[in-house]
């Protein structure tokens, strides 16, 4: 019996070592946080480390990368936003991974969270999946030429009250 428990423990540790570093739910939640709060959230768990900051059109764009060198590279980019005339800030979060299975998992999560698939197709380089609800526009790409994928989540202006 102890042998089976040890094997089960070993298997579960092995699986978690190479697990996805961030979930679809966490990515959507990052769009609801200020840039400072999103930065703290990403670095607090010591899973992501800030790689660099760039300024684009007056916006401070922060790039984060997974810390564990044994994991396939995963990055998160925060800071891109659009300020509306009423003062509301609509944020965008971009996630990239060197393991396309992570994007497949997020496609399942989007469907499970009742986001409506608005487009599924492909171009010369990617399989493309787009989802929407009242709050988000989500574009997911799985490369057909390289071993990578990405997810872009943009907040939408919510008009229905």
Can you spell out the DSSP letters for 42-67? Answer: HHHTTSEEEEEEEEETTEEEEEEEES
Any domain includes 13: no
- Is 79 contained in some domain? yes
**Would 161 be classed as within a structural domain?**
no
Low pLDDT (below 70) residues in the chain = 1-19, 159-161
CATH number at residue 151: 3.30.1460
In a domain, 88, yes or no: yes
Residue 119 is assigned to a structural domain of this protein = yes
Measured CA to CA, the distance from residue 124 to residue 52 in angstroms comes to 30
- Please, are residues 131 and 147 in contact by the beta-carbon 8 Å criterion? no
Backbone angles phi, psi at 68, to 5 degrees: -70, 115
CA distances from 150 to 124, 134, 141, 142, 147 (A): 16, 22, 5, 7, 11
At residue 40, the pLDDT reads 95
Which tens digits make up the pLDDT trace of 86-129? 889 999 999 999 999 999 999 999 999 989 999 999 999 999 99
Specify the pLDDT at position 69: 87
- Where does the chain have alpha helices with state H? 2-17, 24-30, 35-44, 100-112
Number of domains in the chain: 1
Does 6 reside within a domain? Answer: no
Residue 2 resides in a domain? no
Query: Which helix or strand (DSSP H or E) is residue 31 part of?
Result: none
Question: Going by DSSP bridges, is the β-strand pair 116-122/149-155 parallel, antiparallel, or unpaired?
Answer: unpaired
Look up the domain containing 30 and give its range. 21-155
pLDDT of residue 45: 86
The pLDDT score that the predictor gives to residue 159 is: 58
Q: Which of 84, 80, 10 is nearest to 38 (CA)?
A: 80
Domain presence at residue 117: yes
- What pLDDT shows up at residue 55? 93
pTM of the shown model: 0.85
> What's the CA angle centered on 26, arms 23 and 30, to 5 degrees?
140
């Amino acid at each position: 019996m102890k042998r089976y428990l040890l094997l089960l423990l070993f298997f579960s540790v092995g699986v978690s070592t190479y697990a996805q570093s961030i979930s679809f739910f966490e990515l959507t939640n990052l769009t609801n946080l200020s840039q400072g709060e999103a930065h703290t959230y990403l670095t607090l768990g010591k899973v992501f480390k800030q790689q660099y900051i760039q300024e684009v059109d007056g916006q401070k764009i922060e790039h984060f990368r997974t810390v564990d060198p044994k994991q396939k590279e995963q990055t998160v980019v925060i800071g891109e936003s659009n300020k509306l005339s009423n003062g509301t800030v609509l944020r965008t979060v971009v996630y990239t991974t060197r393991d396309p299975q992570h994007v497949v998992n997020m496609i399942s999560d989007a469907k499970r969270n009742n986001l409506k698939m608005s487009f599924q197709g492909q171009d010369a380089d990617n399989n493309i999946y787009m989802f929407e609800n009242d709050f988000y526009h989500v574009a997911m790409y799985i490369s057909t030429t390289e071993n990578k994928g990405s997810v872009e989540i943009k907040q939408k202006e919510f008009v229905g009250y």
